[in-house]
Amino acid sequence: MTEANVSHVPVTEWAALVPELMVSDLAHSLDVYSRLFGFTLNYTRPGFAT
């Protein structure tokens, strides 16, 4: 492994898990997952939200 491929940032914890689910109705799914299940919307882009 070359020096360019090595991260010098220490890993102190796991990265957050971000699920990506395919849905047929994004607006309805966002409502259900946020209002009913308590998920938080962090950002969006056309046709995609996380």
Q: What are the backbone angles phi and psi of residue 13, rounded to the nearest 5°?
A: -160, 165
Please indicate, yes or no, if residue 41 is contained in any of the structural domains.
Answer: yes
User: Which domain does 49 fall in, by range?
Assistant: 19-50
Structural domain includes residue 3: no
User: Quick check: is 27 in a domain?
Assistant: yes
What integer pLDDT is reported at residue 44 of this predicted model? 79
**pLDDT, averaged in runs of 10, over the chain (50 residues):** 66 73 88 91 78
- Sign of the alpha-carbon dihedral angle for 49, 14, 1, 3: positive
Identify whether 2 is part of a domain.
no
Q: What is the pTM of this model?
A: 0.53
Whether residue 45 is contained in a domain is answered as yes
Domain for residue 5, yes or no? no
How high is the pLDDT of residue 4? 66
